[in-house]
Amino acid sequence: MATLRDVKRKIDAVKKTSQITKAMNMVAAAKLRVAQQNMEKFLPYADKFREVIGRLVAGAEQDGSFELMTPREEVKKIELVLLSADRGLCGSFNNNLLVTGERFMKAKQAEGLEVAVTAAGRKASGYYRVRRYPVREALTGLLNKPNYDDAFNLGRNLVNRFVEGESDEVYLVYSHFISVVKQAPTVIKLLPISPGVDEQAEGTSVDYIYEPSHQELLTDLLPNFVYNQLLSSFYETTVSEHAARMAAMDNATNNCKDLVRSLTLTYNKARQAAITTELMDIVGGAEALR
């Protein structure tokens, strides 16, 4: 049985851990608010950009001249971009993304396709390198402060590899932010681009006049569509990471409180037993002296 000193030491250690997890919860909550504000500022622009691309695609001649939109006749090589956090202590956040990515990879490999990985995040990079998957790029710091430059650099490399035939399709695994308590690992196709057309917008009476032509605009804007998709996923995954970490630290703090209560009860019982033993020894000694 643990001594009183051992139990007391455990209680002090758990209380210190509780202080740390509570502080991390508060930091994650503050970062979550900032990240969520940035995401909410960007998403309307991304939605409008997607709508404009959809209108341009609807009005352009589909003659196969847009390489970024043209599916390959035979798909052999897949590139998977997987976003993850650089740090842990965020519950099952990273594991859910990694499991989703691996399931997707195995499904494609079962179809006889060659799959290469771009690991965006220290957790993803370590995960795939340990398992000896072919990693084309290993990036870190993308979720610390999402910005267009990082999205542009990654997107440009993906577009170049697609155009040069190193990959026939490019997919992205990221965390779709639903709410503070719910985030969903999601797989989307980045290349070839399939922006779709908003049927409601297409049916409206507004007829935009584009200058220069649809073809010229699409040639310039299609790569930017990829960059915007990436930046949007950066924002959502960042918000999801902070939300997951906030929840994980809150759970850890509550668990520490429960453990302190349990250890305190154990301490009190042990102390009571020690006092009882001492009293019995005193009474026994007094009886022996009579």
Helices (H) and strands (E) in the chain, counts: 6, 5
Under 8 Å between Cβ of 155 and 230: yes
Residue 206, pLDDT > 60, answer no
Mean per-residue pLDDT for 22-50?
Answer: 94
Check residue 2 and give its pLDDT.
Answer: 63
Residue 122, pLDDT > 50, answer yes
Check residue 153 and give its pLDDT.
Answer: 94
CB count, 10 Å around CB of 103? Answer: 13
Provide the whole-model pTM: 0.86
**What is the homologous superfamily of the domain 4-23+249-289 according to CATH?**
ATP synthase, gamma subunit, helix hairpin domain (1.10.287.80)
> Which DSSP letter does residue 165 get?
T
Break the chain into its structural domains and give their ranges: 4-23+249-289, 25-247
As to burial, measured by CB atoms within 10 angstroms (0-12 exposed, 13-18 middle, 19+ buried), residue 290 is exposed
Regarding the domain delimited by 25-247, which CATH topology (the fold level of the hierarchy) does it fall under?
Answer: Pyruvate Kinase; Chain: A, domain 1 (3.40.1380)
As to burial, measured by CB atoms within 10 angstroms (0-12 exposed, 13-18 middle, 19+ buried), residue 237 is buried
